[in-house]
Amino acid sequence: MLNFESISKAEINSQYFPFFTVKHAISSEDFHSSLVLDFPCINKGGSFPLEAVSVGESIQKLVKELQGNKMRKILEQKFQVNLEDKPVVTTFRGYSRMKDGKIHSDSKTKIITVLIYLNDQWVHKNGLLRLLKDKHNLNSYIEEIPATMGSLVAFKVTENCWHGFQAYEGKRCSIQLNYLYGNALSQHNLRHKLSSFFKKLS
C-alpha cells in the first residue's frame, strides 16, 4: 500500500533539522476511497491511539506497513539511527480545532515522527503543516506539507524541529507514527493521557 520506492528515494533536508517529504506515499489511487471510508470517525480534537479507535481493513493494512520492518529500515538509513526494539506508537487525528497548530517541537521521548495525511482532497489555505526555521514565526517556513491523500513527512526529533500550521477548524485526517526511546513508553503514555482518550471514545 505504501509507495516504498518513492519513500526510499526521498532526499533528506538537514539545513535546520533532518526531514523528508513524499507527496504521493500511497502506491495507487485505487486505495484512496477505501482509506477514506475506513478511517475512524473522529469528531473531536486531539490525538487518539490506535487501540482506542475502530478502523477498517485498509487502514489496518496501512498501519501495519507504517510500523513494519521495511519502513523502519528506511527511517534508520535516512536518519542514521537505530530503531530496532524501540517502541512504536500510532495515533490518529480526525478533527482540527482553532487552538491547534501552535508552533512546537516534539517531545524528547520521541526519536522519529512520521505523519501521513489521508484527506480525500484539501482546498483550504489553512491547516497545512509548516516545517519552520525557528519557533517565532509561522511564516518563516522551510516547507509547507500538503494535507491531501498520501502526503507524508518524516523528521528526526530535535530541540529545534519546530512545526505548526495556520489555525483551521474542521475535518483533518492524519496518522502519526512515533518511534520512542526504550524507557519512554510509559512516560509518553502518561503525557498523552491515553486512558482519557479511551473514555472520550467510549
Q: What is the pLDDT of residues 135-188, one digit of tens each?
A: 999 999 999 999 999 999 999 999 999 999 999 999 999 999 999 998 766 655
Backbone angles phi, psi at 111, to 5 degrees: -100, -50
Q: Which amino acid is at 142?
A: I
Three-state DSSP class for residue 62: helix
Helix (H) or strand (E) holding 173: strand 170-180
Whether pTM exceeds 0.85: yes
Q: What is the pLDDT of residues 36-73, one digit of tens each?
A: 999 999 999 999 999 999 999 999 999 999 999 999 99
Q: Which percentage of the chain shows pLDDT scores above 90?
A: 90
Q: Which residues lie below 8 Å from residue 153, measured CB to CB, with a gap of 6+?
A: 19, 20, 21, 22, 114, 115, 129, 131, 145
Task: Give the pLDDT score at 189.
Answer: 56
Does the pLDDT of residue 193 top 60, yes or no? no
Fold classified for 4-201: Jelly Rolls (2.60.120)
For residue 178, give the nearest of 169, 187, 170 by alpha carbon. 187
